[in-house]
Structure 1
Amino acid sequence: MDNIYKKLEETLAKNKYTSYVHPPYELERKLVIAIQEMDYEKSLSILKEINSLERAQLSKRPLLSLKYSLIGSCTLFARAVIEVGLDAETSFMLSDYYINKIDEATTFDEVQALEYLMLGDFIKVLRKNKEFTYNSLINRVISYIRKHIEENFTLQDISSYVGVHPNYLSAAFKKEVGKTLSEYINEHKIASIKLYIKHTNLSISEISYTFNFSHVTYFSRFFKKNTGMTPMDYRKLSSNTNSLIEDTVK
């Protein structure tokens, strides 16, 4: 145990000397959320931002160091999609496939390209798993809701986007999905808020602002009405659950 702490101290000193700092953890969490929301453009943008920073040296051989880094990314992507419902076996099979591709790659360009292909495929597989099973009109409505869930939008906004009368849309949605538009929006908003509370270090007021609530009090009331607990209680519960998992792994 003493040896590992000595190694950590030596590495920390070396990193300070070379001015190397690992990419911010917050960026990694934002990437996880974007993947789980199946937002490829946002995920790609965050991954490029992370990759614009210096990578950790994981091997004295540069190509092998890059490969190790991508295996870390692969693990991150795999866990991210499992957390939001993709069955573990499918995720692990995709992970195994890309780890083998990484292992077989022989050039820097080939390895670097694999990370972006890997990101896209994990999102595609997750999207396929959660693929809408409704008619084209309702699918477009759901796509709109998912894309704009952090914003304030109205029934009129949605009906204008899909080109039908609001009354017709409300009735069609209820008939097809089995719940009202407002119920569906609230459920999806709560699911998205939970991701922010669980996977970011943003304060409750910052998350409230992200989802366009006029005051954190209204945000807390909305969350408690739909979950039975306050945002802070949910964060504590999530934190305790993660600690239990980590203890079990140890």
Structure 2
Amino acid sequence: MPGEMEEREGIEYICKLIYEAYRVPVMWLDAADTPRLTLPPAFECRPSVQGAHSLLHEVMDIARRSSPAATAAGKAARTTAPPYLHTTGFLENFIILQLPEADRAGGAIVIGPVLSAPVTGDNAASLMRDYSIPPGEQEGWLQYYRSLPVLSRMRWYHAALLLYTLATGEALSITELLLAAGKSGQSGPQPDDGPDLDLSYRRENTLLHHDPMLEREMFRHIRNGDKAGLLRTQAAFSEESYGRLSKKSQLRSKKNLAVSSITLATRAAIEGGLFWEIAYTLSDFHIQHIEELHDIPAVDRAQLAALCDFADQVLGSRSSKLSRISALCQNYIYNHLYEEIPLSRLAEFTGLNASYLSQLFKQETGTAISDYIRQERIEEAKRLMELPGITLSDIASRLHFNDQSYFTKVFKKYTGLTPGQYKQDSERFSRFT
């Protein structure tokens, strides 16, 4: 039919424009995942990996998982979901755009494989060790990597934005692109439990080898709680500018870089006004998560998610306009919830008269210090209920409630539920999410 023919020609035209503009592989898959157009017609194939699917099979599987049904949240405000950014464990980058449902030709446009930085012999060797690929196959992989086009991260993002605009006629910003990528399953698996306040982790203090001005700009955005600015600055980083922090493993090097950036982000968040115990606990949580990951793309995604988390936390902490004295009190209370906290101790800590401190705190927060301490203990109790192996009586005892009945009375006052009812509701909700 003429209409379908015009749509097909339109898709082919978009693919050819992208190919001519960036000289990167472009493929159009129809609704049945069958390649309808491949540019260039032939290019160097990835060497086979024992136990792994072919690269085309992997891309087609990603295209199916990034279908409109799987990205309904991203389509809420747009006729077409933003492009899906995918990086394989072997560092190949892809852009996948599901075509609008109204397009009868259907399917997806796939751009890639592309590298964000050249893969050197040393990098390839460490990557091969990470994936237990025999040394004899290294030359084949080097030849494959040499055949792939290299686009900086920023040019790659611009290619995704251009593809989206050509296909939909709608504008899309880099911030929207990266935020959509973070919500589309790219953030990787999350640990089953949240940050445990009793856990700690020794962080490595290493230096990032890139333009210090970019680094300062990125951490300035974290101090200001500006996630959009953070994403824009992070997108300007060049992959090849990072230092090499492990001679034997590319994965270990990436993890070390991620730990370094999280360590610096922790300091920036504290300078931005985030309670230091919250910042350190957040740091522990994200570093422990990164240490459990097994491929480079997952580490990259987790690192960006951690930096955004710090910016969000700083922004949230700034929503409360308190004096330094009240903020110090809140931070002290947060750090010492498992101890008795008499007003006299807070007065000594802040260097103020107890009566004046009590009046100042209530004037600024609208809550008496004793009530604030109880509220925070109830919030902590709710967090503890989500952890395995802790009974309600243990929680009441640890948080210095006189007895179980008093704990129940206070808990119901602030939540409207008894501790048992709250725990049952939480368990029921977790089973359905």
- TM-score normalised per structure 1: 0.55
In structure 2, what is the equivalent of residue 149 of structure 1?
337
Match for residue 234 of structure 1 among 395, 419, 422: 422
CA deviations 1:17-71 (Å, max 9, x no partner) are: xxxxxxxxxx963x5243xxxxxxx55x1x46xxxxxxxxxxxxxxxxxxxxxxx
Note if contact 1:170-1:181 (Cα within 8 Å) is conserved in structure 2. Answer: yes
Q: Residues of 2 paired with 1:115 and 1:199: CA distance? A: 26
| Alignment of 1:212 onto 2:400 | yes
CA deviations 1:157-192 (Å, max 9, x no partner) are: 111110111110111111111222222222222111
Match for residue 195 of structure 2 among 23, 27, 32: 32
Q: Residues of 1 paired with 2:402 and 2:414: CA distance? A: 18
Q: Residues of 2 paired with 1:186 and 1:126: CA distance? A: 26
Q: CA deviation at 1:148?
A: 1.1
For the aligned residue pairs, the C-alpha RMSD in angstroms reads 3.6
CA deviations 1:164-223 (Å, max 9, x no partner) are: 111101111111112222222222221111111123431111212221234323222221
Superposition map of 1:89-128 within 5 A: 106-112=250-256, 114-115=258-259, 117-118=261-262, 120=283, 124-128=310-314
Q: Residues of 1 paired with 2:408 and 2:358: CA distance? A: 27
In structure 1, what is the equivalent of residue 354 of structure 2?
166
In structure 2, stretches of 5+ residues that fail to align are 1-190, 203-224, 245-249, 263-281, 284-305
In structure 2, what is the equivalent of residue 82 of structure 1?
none
Q: CA deviation at 1:111?
A: 1.6
C-alpha change, 1:164 and 1:116, in structure 2 (3 Å) is same
| Structure possessing the higher radius of gyration over alpha carbons | 2
Letter in 2 for 1:129: L
Q: Residues of 2 paired with 1:215 and 1:113: CA distance? A: 48
Letter in 2 for 1:220: T
Note if contact 1:33-1:196 (Cα within 8 Å) is conserved in structure 2. Answer: no
Q: Residues of 1 paired with 2:329 and 2:423: CA distance? A: 30
User: Which structure has more strand as a fraction of its residues?
Assistant: 2
C-alpha change, 1:113 and 1:227, in structure 2 (3 Å) is same
Q: Residues of 2 paired with 1:184 and 1:116: CA distance? A: 36
Letter in 1 for 2:323: N
C-alpha change, 1:169 and 1:239, in structure 2 (3 Å) is same
Q: Residues of 1 paired with 2:382 and 2:260: CA distance? A: 27
C-alpha change, 1:136 and 1:114, in structure 2 (3 Å) is same
In structure 1, what is the equivalent of residue 316 of structure 2?
130
C-alpha change, 1:148 and 1:116, in structure 2 (3 Å) is farther
Q: Residues of 2 paired with 1:126 and 1:201: CA distance? A: 31
Letter in 1 for 2:405: T
Q: Residues of 2 paired with 1:28 and 1:214: CA distance? A: 32
Q: Residues of 2 paired with 1:126 and 1:147: CA distance? A: 21
Residue-pair matches, total: 166
**Identical aligned residues as a percent:** 21
**Whose RCO is larger (CA < 8 A, sep 6+)?**
1
Q: CA deviation at 1:136?
A: 1.0
Question: Where do 4+ consecutive residues of structure 1 move more than 6 Å?
Answer: none
C-alpha change, 1:184 and 1:112, in structure 2 (3 Å) is same
Q: Residues of 2 paired with 1:116 and 1:147: CA distance? A: 25
